[in-house]
């Protein structure tokens, strides 16, 4: 198991189903400072947690360099816990797709599982809910992000779909084919496969 640590909800995308979307003016935007990340980590490590998953919106202020800084900060924390010393031994990352060079930097720091959800494998639905004038509107850039991660040497990757966008049976087949392709090309399948589902979110136009 792992505990979540949301580091930033700043986002340049405008996904119709997401409260983080850039046109949503009803939520409070935050990017944790490194001192705030440290304090949150101290609390979680003090509770006995050893694994975290950090989450970031896609935005220049929460880019790969910011992610790298948060990972270094988290790994540097060592606190008195319930039984001995508490520290985080593995940080998984849920973030936007990155370049091979950016992923190599995170690999060097010690990224755990790199997790990116395709959201939907159905092309028509994907383009309908991810506007074309956004980074996330590029279907193939997102689809092949795990190929880049494995090329960068990241040990574990995680994929997933957002149930409720399209027929779940089609999505499961998409996940299967995605997994098989990774195994055929790199000899490894995803460490995790996730099935989040649509839930009510503040001021979202998705129907």
Pair of tokens at residue 94: 């849920």
Is the pLDDT assigned to residue 44 strictly greater than 70? Answer: yes
Give the model's confidence band at 86: pLDDT under 50 very low, under 70 low, under 90 confident, else very high: confident
**Tens digit of each residue's pLDDT (9 = 90 or more) over 114-149:** 999 999 999 999 999 999 999 999 999 999 999 999
Asked if residues 98 and 65 have their Cβ atoms less than 8 Å apart, the reply is: no
Give the model's confidence band at 1: pLDDT under 50 very low, under 70 low, under 90 confident, else very high: confident
Given CA atoms 63, 49, 44, 21 in this order, what sign does their dihedral have? positive
**Tens digit of each residue's pLDDT (9 = 90 or more) over 60-83:** 999 999 999 999 999 999 998 666
**Coil/strand/helix, residue 51:** strand
């Amino acid at each position: 198991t792992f505990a979540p640590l949301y580091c930033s909800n700043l986002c340049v995308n405008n996904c119709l189903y997401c409260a983080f979307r850039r046109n949503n003016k009803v939520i409070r935007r935050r990017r944790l400072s490194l001192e705030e990340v440290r304090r949150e980590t101290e609390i979680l490590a003090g509770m006995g947690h050893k694994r975290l998953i950090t989450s970031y919106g896609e935005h220049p202020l929460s880019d790969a360099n910011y992610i790298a800084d948060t990972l270094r900060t988290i790994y540097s924390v060592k606190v008195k816990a319930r039984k001995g010393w508490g520290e985080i031994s593995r940080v998984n990352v849920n973030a936007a797709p990155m370049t091979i060079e950016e992923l190599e930097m995170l690999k060097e720091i010690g990224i755990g599982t790199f997790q990116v959800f395709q959201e939907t494998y159905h092309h028509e639905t994907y383009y309908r809910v991810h506007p074309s004038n956004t980074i996330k509107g590029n279907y193939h850039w997102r689809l092949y992000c795990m190929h880049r991660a494995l090329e960068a040497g990241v040990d574990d990757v995680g994929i997933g779909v957002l149930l409720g966008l399209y027929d779940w049976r089609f999505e499961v087949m998409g996940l299967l084919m995605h997994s098989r392709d990774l195994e055929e090309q790199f000899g490894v399948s995803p460490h995790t496969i996730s099935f989040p589902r649509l839930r009510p979110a503040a001021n979202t136009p998705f129907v």
